[in-house]
Amino acid sequence: MIALLALTIATASGAATPTTLRSRDAVVAIMRRGCDYQLAKQATTKPSDGWVRSTFYTGVLALYDTTKDRKYLDAATRWAEQAKWTLHGKDPRFADNQAAAQVYCDLYAIDRDPRRIASAKSVFDLQVAMPKSGRVEWWWCDSLFMAPPAFARMTRVTGERKYADLMNDMFWDSADFLLDKQEDLFFRDKNFFTKKTEHGKKVFWSRGNGWVVAGIARILDALPADDPSRRKFTALQRRMLVKIAELQGEDGLWRSSLLDPEQFPQPETSGTAFFCYAFAWAINHGTLDRATYVPVAINAWNGLCSKVTDEGKLGYVQKVAGAPGRVNPDDTQEYAVGGFLLAGSEIAKINRDGD
């Protein structure tokens, strides 16, 4: 039976809201179950170094950091070895193809074998030498999770500021292009600037905005402490999370169309996982008010856990897409499990006393 702790936390309105916080042991147990299920499934599929599996392994390393269980570090290392520490696809400048570099850099920080980052570093060096604007190279909001945290990590492991400097220039140009400053949410890409749902609402994709707020957390984890843009990143993430909190469903989960939940009323776990991670990260780093937003994070986590089967399958995941869409209960994807593991790693820190 999962251990539970009952908390009563004051919300912004001053009302007391009962929030059920799972013990740290329970959080880790369900993280293990979800990860182990996915690792077992991978054993029956062909290797991949694309963004889907790369996102999963960002979560695997978060589980390793939480548990220090060597099997998760070994699993990530085996995956990187299978990929030969290279970037995916024929266009290594394409942001989705750079997601693997986040994992490579984190593994390099553990074992400084130059081979681990050589491929990614050569590509990033080319981008530094021949830069493009953010709105040209990172023109869709998903890209802000895939590539910028990798550039920040390259600065962290090499000490060379040029990667973070380029990332800053490109990120803020992309944000200026895609951010709706009235709603504090990101359009997926320029094709959504004027689109409306069938109910006349602006179209903001849950997972797309999850990519952004989770990407910011991962940027800030790696960005130098004295980087002048840290405050700007924190402010943007806070603005977005304040808005996103207002859109949370009563079950703790978000729907795939943020401003029009009735368009696709099924709960959606991939966007929720990245939101949960970002809320918990911001709480743990003191950039969101704990009393106000712990209930949001914990209710999101509990909602996610309700969609994990006894065998460890995370359901209600919207398939690979670029817009809000239908969700089926049995659908799962590796990137959502990665987001779930990232979220759990921060939820476990919220409940440090729950062991």
Q: Does residue 157 carry a pLDDT above 90?
A: yes
Q: What is the mean pLDDT of the chain?
A: 94
Residue 45's CB is within 10 A of a number of other CB atoms, namely 9
Whether the pLDDT of residue 4 is over 70: the answer is no
DSSP conformation letters of 266-296: SEEHHHHHHHHHHHHHHHHTTSS-HHHHHHH
Q: Which two tokens stand for residue 90?
A: 């024929």
- Contact status, residue 255 vs residue 249, Cβ threshold 8 Å: yes
| CB-neighbour burial class of residue 5 (10 A; exposed 0-12, middle 13-18, buried 19+) | middle
Confidence of residue 77 (pLDDT cuts 50, 70, 90): very high
Query: What pLDDT is recorded for position 9?
Result: 37
Give the pLDDT of residue 22.
84
- The DSSP line for 165-192 is HHHHHHHHHHHHHHEETTTTEE-SSGGG
Domains of the chain: 4-350 (1.50.10.10)
Confidence of residue 329 (pLDDT cuts 50, 70, 90): very high
pLDDT tens-digit series, residues 165-178: 999 999 999 999 99
DSSP 3-state assignment of 196?
A: strand
Instruction: Check pLDDT > 60 for residue 84.
Output: yes
CB 220 within 8 A of CB 230: yes
Q: How far is CA 292 from CA 11, 14, 23, 301, in A?
A: 5, 9, 20, 16
- φ/ψ (deg, to 5) at 3: -75, 140
Tell me how far the alpha carbon of residue 316 is from its chain's centroid: 17
Q: pLDDT grade, residue 19 (50/70/90)?
A: confident
pLDDT for 349 equals 96
Stretch 117-141: mean pLDDT, rounded? 98
H-helix or E-strand spanning residue 248: none
What pTM was estimated for this model as a whole? 0.94
pLDDT tens per residue across span 30-46: 999 999 999 999 999 99
Q: Return the amino acid letter for 180.
A: D
Tell me how crowded residue 326 is: count the other CB atoms within 10 A of its CB. 14
* C-alpha–C-alpha distance, residues 99 and 236, integer Å: 22
Place of tokens 């924190």: 234
Q: Examine the pLDDT at 225 and tell me if it is beyond 80.
A: yes
Residue 1 has pLDDT above 90, yes or no: no
Partner residues linked to 257 by β-bridges: 205
CA 110 to chain centre: 22
Helices (H), the chain: 24-42, 51-67, 70-82, 100-110, 115-129, 134-137, 143-146, 148-158, 162-178, 206-222, 230-245, 269-284, 290-305, 334-350
Who's near 274: CB < 8 A, 6+ residues apart? 145, 207, 210, 211, 213, 214, 339, 342, 343
The tens digit of pLDDT for each residue in 273-296 reads 999 999 999 999 999 999 999 999
The count of other CB atoms within 10 Å of the CB of residue 119 is 18
Backbone phi, then psi, for 270, in 5-degree steps? -70, -50
**CB-CB contact of 241 with 311 (8 Å):** no
Q: How far is CA 53 from CA 29, 104, 121, 141, 239, in A?
A: 22, 13, 20, 19, 30
What pLDDT was estimated at residue 352?
64
CA distance 51 to 37: 19
pLDDT at 13 over 60: no
Coil, strand or helix at 7: strand
Exposed / middle / buried, residue 160 (Cβ in 10 Å: 0-12, 13-18, 19+): middle
